[in-house]
Chains A and B, each alone.
Chain A
Amino acid sequence: MSNDGQPAQDPLIDEAQAEQRRSAAARLFDIRRVIGGLFVAYGVIVTLIGIFDSRAEIDKAEGVRINLWAGLAMLVFGLLMLLWQWLRPAEAPDPNERQPDA
């Protein structure tokens, strides 16, 4: 990593910076997959509940079929997250491949 315009020196910080070369952060998975997965699961469960909602449950929610709508909304949101990840996969955060200061 380039050190142009290096700010104040400090041994503790320099040590930590040196350790950065061993970093395994590039192996971090993409959170979009988890968010997408959980919301798809929630969407399916809540939509199904919504389809079979009884009159009493709809009346409790002021006549809104809230389970159906909320379920579908979560399903769409989850799928969008997965689609986003599929269309624009994460650039691996590898410190060695970063451009030096532009």
Chain B
Amino acid sequence: MDGDGLRLNMNGLDYLILALYFVTVLGVGFAARRAIRTSVDFFLSGRSLPAWVTGLAFVSANLGALEIIGMAANGAQYGVMTVHYYWIGAVPAMVFLGIVMMPFYYGSKVRSVPEYLRLRFNRPTHLLNAISFAVAQVLIAGVNLYALALVMQALLGWPLWTAIVVGAAIVLAYITIGGLSGAIYNEVLQFFVILAGLIPVTVIGLVKVGGWNGLMDAVGDTKLGEAGLHAWQDTGSTANPLGAHWIGIVFGLGFVLSFGYWTTNFAEVQRALSAKNMSAARRTPIIAAYPKLFIPLVTVIPGLVALVTVKGLGAESGDLQYNNAIPLLMRDLLPNGVLGVAVTGLLASFMAGMAANVSGFNTVFTYDIWQAYIRRDRSDEHYLRVGRWATVAAVVIGIGTAFIAAGFSNIMNYIQALFSVFNAPLFATFIIGMFWKRMSALAGFWSLLLGTLVSLSLYLLYKGGVVDFNSDLEESFWGAGLAFVTAVVVAVIVTPLTAPKRDEELRGLVYGMGGVDLKGDVLAGDAAWYRSPVLLGLIAVALAALFYIPVF
């Protein structure tokens, strides 16, 4: 994105809307400060939040602008098949997290995902995961920051470094001051602002192409053609826009990648751990699944509209890259006023993404690295202070990694590679550890380590040109799959050779060992049928299946 081609014609009122948002975000941070006295207040919002708040924060933490811009780009490039990232690639995993895994996470009172590994396996497994999580979070925070700066530069004409520093300073302020409550409350606000920005683009885009039917007809005439309108029809082979067989979609995307991301990523799970009771924690990812079902309406549809209306979209470089689908529509269709709201929504989504990384990092750094291995048995105030400094450090390092991200031509693929390396082996280790009580502590360590190394080596071999794949996407699928299989095989081989953990150590951590209380701290209204996690989850999965019918 360079040159002035994407520059939006913002006027004073648009900037007023943007400024009001920044002031509100900082105000939320300051107001949340009153609610912080202990480290649990700072890192987990004192485990006090209602389910609708944690649920919307859960979906918002994932709704970084990389996601929005990237999914609109995928919509323009691959067509309707992009919905797989939502309906099979997210919703089932979110429901699984809520129904099956959350009782172990929330019930064991662990304060982070790595901490679960410490209790279930041993300290080496814990340290390995805590460090790799911390590193991944600052890398991804840098990517979010860099992407934010790119958009501000292209749309508003701000110099790159100014945009990076301004974005970083705002996130830093509201998390350092307001802790996780500041981050979560702002994520809920961001969720609505993001939608307020995207809905007008979608509506006017649809009016322009003559509604849904007009869009369908017009897409048939583009380079994507009829194939761009179907999610499953051509998946008996790989001759479809995504180049993916249905087996790959179901097991690669729908199982390994998606479950790996949604169920073990602490930046997400942390939102649920801050819920006020077991029922609210279980409902958190399930409530999040409902907006997730509908988000393709405001990402994939604008992508298709851009494909139809923007001549030459899909260039290798310059202003007409797929990634600019939404900014181009904003430039062409939105008058001042809603334009300001849309720009605010876009910036809000970058901040949501980065804030999730930073608040995940400061918790893991403080509880899982500092408290567990460096300075034990200090006062709670000490850890609270460390948490605030860790936030500052995360943002400063994030500014550094933003300049690393600037060296990658396709940042979305960089992110996918990070996920396949870190999340797939972690998910395998988790899922076996949660359901197979015999799995030993050493098996946990070696599964996680070797799984990660296998995926990392495959990525490096691919980058070095030794191994060949059709696309980066295919590499990340194979990397994730191999890491998963490696972790399973290692667990099966190492476990019989090593000592098991005692049963009483596994209470509340492993399926079938007892110690999980599904009604913990139950509130009066939680027994209502419409607050049943299982029922809500099954409805979400059923809706995801139904939504496929019109675009089969």
Question: Taking beta carbons and an 8 Å cutoff, which residues of A are in contact with B?
Answer: 1, 4-8, 10, 12-13, 15-17, 19-20, 22-29, 31, 34-35, 37-39, 41-42, 45-46, 49-50, 53, 57-58, 60-64, 66-67, 70-71, 74, 77, 90-91, 93, 95, 98-99, 101-102
Cβ–Cβ contact B371 & A64, under 8 A = no
- Inter-chain CA distance A23–B274, complex, in Å, is 13
- The size of the chain B interface, using a CB distance under 8 A, is 76
> Are A38 and B189 in contact (CB-based, < 8 A)?
yes
Cβ-closest 7 pairs across A and B: A7-B508, A25-B46, A93-B48, A57-B335, A25-B48, A24-B37, A49-B337
Choose among A12, A66, A95 the residue that contacts B203 (Cβ–Cβ < 8 A): A66
13 A/B residue pairs, CB under 8 Å, sorted by A = A12-B115, A16-B39, A25-B41, A26-B46, A27-B35, A28-B181, A29-B32, A35-B192, A70-B200, A70-B338, A93-B46, A95-B48, A99-B521
Q: Of A4, A62, A98, A99, which contacts B517 at CB under 8 A?
A: A4
Asked if B8 is at the interface (CB within 8 A of a chain A CB), the reply is: no
Given contacts A7-B515, A8-B515, 6 further A-B contacts (CB under 8 A): A24-B34, A25-B47, A38-B189, A62-B207, A70-B200, A70-B341
Q: A57-B336, A101-B519 are in contact. Are A74 and B38 (CB under 8 A)?
A: no
Chain B interface mostly: helix
- Chain B positions 479 through 521: 1 when the CB is less than 8 Å from some CB of chain A, otherwise 0: 0000000000000000000000000111111000011110111
Report whether B13 and A62 are in contact in the complex, using a CB–CB cutoff of 8 Å.
no
Q: Inside 8 A of B21's CB, which chain A residues have their CB?
A: 38
The residues of B that contact A46 with a CB separation of less than 8 Å are: 17, 337-338, 341
Across chains A and B, the number of contacting residue pairs, with CB separation under 8 Å, is: 196
Find B335's partner among A5, A25, A67, A90 (CB 8 Å cutoff). Answer: A67
Return chain A residues, CB-CB under 8 Å to B181. 25, 28
- Which secondary structure dominates chain A's binding surface? helix
Q: For A66, list chain B residues within 8 Å (CB).
A: 200, 203-204, 334-335, 338
B10 within 8 A of A: no
CA distance A99 to B31 in the complex (A): 28
Whether B39 pairs with A98 at a CB distance below 8 angstroms is no
B551 at the interface (CB under 8 A from A): no
Q: Report the bound CA distance from A37 to B208 in whole Å.
A: 32
Q: Which one of B106-114, B313-321, B457-465 is at the interface? A: B106-114
Q: Is the CB of A53 within 8 A of B335?
A: yes
Is the beta-carbon distance between A45 and B16 smaller than 8 angstroms?
A: yes
A90 contacts across to B, CB distance below 8 A? 50
Knowing A64-B204, A70-B196 are in contact, say whether A19-B337 is a contact too (CB < 8 A).
no
Shortest beta-carbon distance from A14 to chain B in Å: 9
Q: Which residue, of A16, A63, A70, has the highest number of chain B Cβ atoms within 10 A?
A: A16
